[in-house]
């Protein structure tokens, strides 16, 4: 099975100046664990995850003041729609993250999460091979 078969094509995209509270509200409303941060004047495409927001809160930072750009991962590993789920899972395991932005050319076309991979493997009855990190 391929990434394009598992990914969500509904992408939450926010700007770098969104506050963490705004990002959290949008993520909660859409029931997603990550948002693509589009910063054409800066880093380009990054990702903000629920974990990033939790870390900020754990440091007692104010979610109404903190901006997405300060918490965005810009050193992103991207997936391609034609990758296998094994390739995506291996990239996630190596990087220690749970989401990959899927690019076609230079444009985000989806996000694939660990949950998406597990759902596909479970639905297909496939037992994944061991993935070495």
Q: What's the rounded Cα separation, in Å, for the pair 61 and 110?
A: 30
CATH for the stretch 3-123: 3.10.580.10
Q: Give the per-residue pLDDT at 36.
A: 95
Give dist(CA 23, CA 81) in Å, integer. 26
pLDDT at 123: 74
pLDDT at 41: 80
pTM of the prediction? 0.84
Q: Check if the beta carbon of residue 97 is closer than 8 Å to that of residue 121.
A: no
Print pLDDT tens along the chain (133 aa): 999 999 999 899 999 999 999 999 999 999 999 999 998 887 789 999 999 999 999 999 999 999 999 999 988 889 999 999 999 999 999 999 899 999 998 889 999 999 999 999 887 655 555 444 4
């Amino acid at each position: 099975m391929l990434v394009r078969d598992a990914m969500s094509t509904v992408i939450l995209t926010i700007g770098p100046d969104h506050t963490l509270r705004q990002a959290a509200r949008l993520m909660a409303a859409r029931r997603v664990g990550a948002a693509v941060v589009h910063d054409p004047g800066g880093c380009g495409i990054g990702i903000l995850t629920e974990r990033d927001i939790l870390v900020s809160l754990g440091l007692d930072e104010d979610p109404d003041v903190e901006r997405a750009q300060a918490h965005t991962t810009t050193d992103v590993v991207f997936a391609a729609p034609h990758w296998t789920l094994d390739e995506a899972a291996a990239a996630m395991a190596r990087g220690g993250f749970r989401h990959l932005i899927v690019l076609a050319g230079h444009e985000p076309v989806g996000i694939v999460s660990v949950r998406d991979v597990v759902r596909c493997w479970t639905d297909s009855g496939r037992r994944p091979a061991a993935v070495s990190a």
